[in-house]
Structure 1
Amino acid sequence: MCALSVLATVPGLLRDKAGDLIADESGDLYGTTPSGGSKSGGVIFELKPSGAQ
């Protein structure tokens, strides 16, 4: 299991620009989506492993 956090919604800037996941030294993953979020223009998100704060 992982905890998903939306860090930002981006109106129109990420359309057709989903990128690779990036990992930090703690094992958290960061990425983007080409659509979704409150403005339907994409989101920047973080995934944390279960039990992480």
Structure 2
Amino acid sequence: MPEFLRRYPQVDVHLRLEDRYMDLIDDRVDLALRITDRPSPGLIGRR
């Protein structure tokens, strides 16, 4: 991350660790990663 920020100083990075579902618009978040043992009900997968 330090190298990325040196290379792109105009990018502002904030790390938030939350244990709740985030609404990307209401929480003003551009990217969210969700780690869970339960897949999303709308997820479609293949093997």
Q: TM-score range by the shorter chain?
A: under 0.3
Give me the TM-score of the superposition, normalised by structure 2.
Answer: 0.20
TM-score norm. by structure 1 comes to 0.19
Relative to its length, the structure with more strand (as a share) is 1
Determine which structure has the larger helix proportion and give its number: 2
Q: Which has the higher Rg, Structure 1 or Structure 2?
A: 2
